Every structure is written in structure tokens, then in C-alpha cells.
Amino acid sequence: MKVAFSKLNITPKEYVSKPLAGYTRKDPCLGKLDDIYVHSVLIESNSVASTKDFLLLISLDLLKVPLSITKYIRNKIIKKYPSLKFEQILVHATHTHAAFDLTGEFYWPGGALNVMRGIMFGANKNDKYIVWFTNKILKMVEGLFSNLKSCKIAWKKEPFNPDLVINRRHPSRKTLPHLGVITFKSLEENELLGFIINYACHPTTLSYKNNKLSADYPGRIIQKISELTNNKVKAIYFNGASGDLNPITTCGTEYEQFELDKTPIYDQLGTYHHTERIGYTIAEEALKLANSISDNDYFSTIEFQIYAHEFWIPMKDHKYFSKQWFTNKLIYAIKKLFLLNIARYTMLNSNFPIFIIDKNKGKFRCNTVIQYIKVKAKSKSKEKEFSLMTIPGELFEEIGESFLKASLIGKDNIFIFQNAQDWIGYLFPIHEYVEEGGYEPVPSFSPLCGYFVKNEMLRLLTKISNEIK
């Protein structure tokens, strides 16, 4: 097998005054804390028949990359590099809240009303930037093919949360995300070439008051690993199930007290100092974890098996009654009767809409996709497997745990990549919506997004397990 890593700067020259995505800011970009990048890793597998197979993983320092844009990127890649297949390309957004808006919803700064205006009329405002960084990705892929090196692979996960992450909706859970690494060593020198990092935390170390461009803590992870290894070891970051997991910057760790008042969690005013602290802490532990893997745990041959499933999510509400019912129904009605009806017709004339929306039997629905990528690793004396799950939105911790429990290969061998291939909103359990409500249903296409994604993924896992039997 072979591997190659790469990264390219995707900060445009005229970044000041461009709209930033993630918050209802009053101002556009006013400066820069650090550059944003596209990172990638290309993995080549040689099967028994000596035919080459590839897996291309791309991670962008952006808030989100909807399905229409990821399809555009992937189609451009396979057109230029036909040895790659559409389903072998994974496009992920790290979800930094301090990078550029792609979908138009944040095109007009100035608060929530202007975000609504952007949803209805802001699409198709940033096409030039999307085309520009896609062309850079094409050049990057060319470099990946040219720099493939023979290697071996290993992976490892560990629980890791030294007061870095808090579940903003259920702080007393004292969440314990797993830090995962997929590592690659050179065959000849037996030296670490690079690794994939997977962790679960919202990239919101910078507060809503920040108006400067930044990749947030994921960018500091990559920078710190480069610094610690004298630029010899490459890294790429993929965010895990962190829809309800926030970084701890200024709120402290009074977990039980936060159950009575969650305001300190939501209103944290983190600074770049916190961005660096959290990024560097994760980087140091990830590198330590990568170096802790024994040579005996490496494999020299791998095979890919990719399952992709596209499906439609209806715009409809859950049947229930609770204290949150009126608020939830009001939000649902505004989106369905007002926003979607106007936005849909705007999007029809747009190259890169927020959602791929259709109307079936008089009802709105949204197209999305999930993937399960099985990687079988072999050596002369043993065989093992790990898998990647792509999730089209911000997955709540609880649903992420249900996926890990449903897997036949154990949670230590599953890596969840959220905001991958698409973004349809927050993906939360129904009871979170019915019992507590909150702002998460507002940006989501439908309050049932999490319900449908969970069911479709569990159905896919059942199908895969039945094939094995």
C-alpha cells in the first residue's frame, strides 16, 4: 500500500470584508488570526489481483460543505483523474466558525433577520470562491499521485478529555470523547509519515464576537504537529460526533451547577489563547498516541469496501405535545411555509444551494447521503478491520454512541466523520427536540433529520452485518 499527504492554503487575497459563517455577526471578516487550508490524504491499496484501488480524504477549514458542493468537487476530481471513483472521495468540513460562508445564508451580516434573508436570497453569491478552491484541490490531487510512498498502517483510540470539552445540553454527563489516530509509517525507514486525527469538539474556541479569519483549534493541531516533528510528520483532522459538544474556554467546570443555568457555556468569550491551548493539547496527545503504537500492530496490505446510501428526509414534524410544542411548531411553520417556499425557487437558479430540495406529493424533502467505508488490513500473520462513517451534519453525542454500539467490530475500530459529504443541520434525538427544544432545530432542514439519519445508518449497518453472516 501507499500513502501521500498534502495541504494547500485556501485563504483568498481579498479576505477582508468577506462574510464569515457560523454566527449572526454584525460585521464581515475584519482581519486574520491564521490561514485556512484544505488538507488531504490519498491511500492506495493493491489487492491480490494487483489492481490499484484508492481512497481520497479531503478536509476543508470551513463551516460546512453541502451535498451540491461536495458533488461538484468530486465530479471535477474524477473527470481529471479517472482512476478515482466518485464514492472513493470523501469531502469533510472541520466546522470552524471563523471561515467563509459558502451557501449565502451569512452573506449579509447583521443578525438573525439577515441570516433569514440570506437563506432566501443569498445563494449563488460565493461561486467564484468555490470554483477557485476546487481548482486548487485538483492541483493538490495531482501532487498526491506524484508523492505516493510505500507504507504500512495502524490505528488506535483512547478516551481523552482533560477539561477540554463539555456537553452544552447535558453538562453533568462529563463527556469523554475518544481521540483516534490512523497512522502511516514508511516501509523502508519505519518512520512515521503522517496520520489522521479524529476527535469530537465544536471548533468554537473563538467567541461570536470574533470577526477574524481562523481555522480554529483544528488548524492549531496541524500547526503544532508540524512544529513538534520539524515538518517531517503530516496530519489531517476530521471532527467526530460533536453536535452538542462545546470547548471549555471561559465557562469553567462547574458541571452540576450548569444543569441549573447553562448560560456560561453558551456565552463563553474564548480568545485565540484558548484556540492555541486546546489545539496544542490535542496535538501533543495525538502525536503521543500515534507514537505509542507498536510495530507489531501495523499492517502492510489493505482493501477497501465502500457502502454509500442516498436518501430523502421529509420536512415534517414529530407528533407530540410538551412544553416546547408551541415554540417548536412556530419555528417549523416559519421554515416550511415561509422560508422554504421562497428559498426553494431561489435555489433552483443557484449553482450551489444549501440543501438539495424537492417537492414530493406537495411536501418538501431534502436529499442527503451517508457512507460506511470498511478497511480490511492484513499482514502475513493477522487480519483486522476498521471503518469510517460519514455523517451529513452535526451529530449529537448520543446518536454517535448508538452507532458505535451497533458496530460488529467494536467502538475502538470505528471513526465517525461528521459534516462529511453534506450538511443538513444538527442531528439530534427526538427526545432532545420534544423535551428541551433549543436553537438546534432552527438551522436544521427538518426536526427529524437526526431521526432519519440514525435509522438509515443503523439499517445500513444491519445490511452490512447480514452480508458478513
- Domain range summary for the chain, segments of one domain joined by +: 1-469
Predicted local confidence at residue 77, as pLDDT = 98
Predicted local confidence at residue 109, as pLDDT = 86
Is 60 exceeded by the pLDDT of residue 49? no
Query: What's the rounded mean pLDDT across residues 44-56?
Result: 76
* Percentage helix, strand, coil for the chain under 3-state DSSP, each rounded to 5: 35, 30, 40
Sign (positive or negative) of CA dihedral 59, 65, 67, 73:
negative
Calpha distance 270→287 (Å, rounded): 25
Predicted local confidence at residue 387, as pLDDT = 97
Is 90 exceeded by the pLDDT of residue 354? no
What is the grid cell recorded at 259? Answer: 444543569
Mind listing the pLDDT tens digit for each residue in 311-353? 999 999 998 899 999 999 998 888 887 777 766 666 666 677 8
Q: Kind of pairing, strands 234-239 and 165-167?
A: unpaired
Predicted local confidence at residue 343, as pLDDT = 65
Predicted local confidence at residue 469, as pLDDT = 59
Mind listing the pLDDT tens digit for each residue in 415-461? 999 999 999 999 999 999 999 999 898 889 999 999 999 999 999 99
Nearest residue to 192 via CA among 104, 292, 338: 292
Calpha distance 55→313 (Å, rounded): 28
3-state SS assignment for residue 132: helix
Q: 374 has which bridge partners?
A: 305, 387
Q: Kind of pairing, strands 234-239 and 2-9?
A: unpaired
Please report, to the nearest 10 degrees, the dihedral formed by the alpha carbons of residues 346, 19, 64, 303 taken in order.
120
Predicted local confidence at residue 71, as pLDDT = 97
User: How many other β-carbons are positioned within 10 Å of the β-carbon of residue 361?
Assistant: 6
Which is higher by pLDDT, 112 or 300?
300
Mind listing the pLDDT tens digit for each residue in 135-191? 999 999 999 999 999 999 999 999 999 999 999 999 999 899 999 999 999 998 999
**Exposure string (b/e) for 396-428, b if CB count within 10 Å is 16 or more?**
bbbbbeebbebbeeebebbbbbbbbbbbbbbbb
**Exposure string (b/e) for 118-140, b if CB count within 10 Å is 16 or more?**
bbbbbbbbbbebbeebbeebeeb
What is the grid cell recorded at 118? Answer: 440570506
Residues in the chain, overall count: 469
Mind listing the pLDDT tens digit for each residue in 60-91? 999 999 999 999 999 999 999 999 999 999 99
User: Binning pLDDT at 50, 70 and 90, where does residue 33 land?
Assistant: very high
Sign (positive or negative) of CA dihedral 325, 427, 430, 163:
negative
Mind listing the pLDDT tens digit for each residue in 387-422? 999 999 999 999 999 999 998 899 999 999 999 999
Nearest residue to 4 via CA among 57, 67, 62: 57
Nearest residue to 66 via CA among 381, 369, 310: 369
Residues 6+ apart with CB under 8 A from 253: 163, 166
Mind listing the pLDDT tens digit for each residue in 163-176? 999 999 999 998 99
Is 90 exceeded by the pLDDT of residue 51? no
Which is higher by pLDDT, 121 or 35?
35
Predicted local confidence at residue 116, as pLDDT = 81
What is the grid cell recorded at 181? Answer: 489516530
Q: Are 217 and 203 in contact (CB under 8 A)?
A: yes
How does the average pLDDT of the chain come out, rounded?
Answer: 93
Residues 6+ apart with CB under 8 A from 75: 86
- Would you call 154 exposed, middle or buried from its count of C-beta atoms within 10 A (0-12, 13-18, 19+)? buried
What is the grid cell recorded at 332? Answer: 417549523
Nearest residue to 53 via CA among 148, 147, 154, 143: 148
Nearest residue to 324 via CA among 456, 169, 208, 114: 169
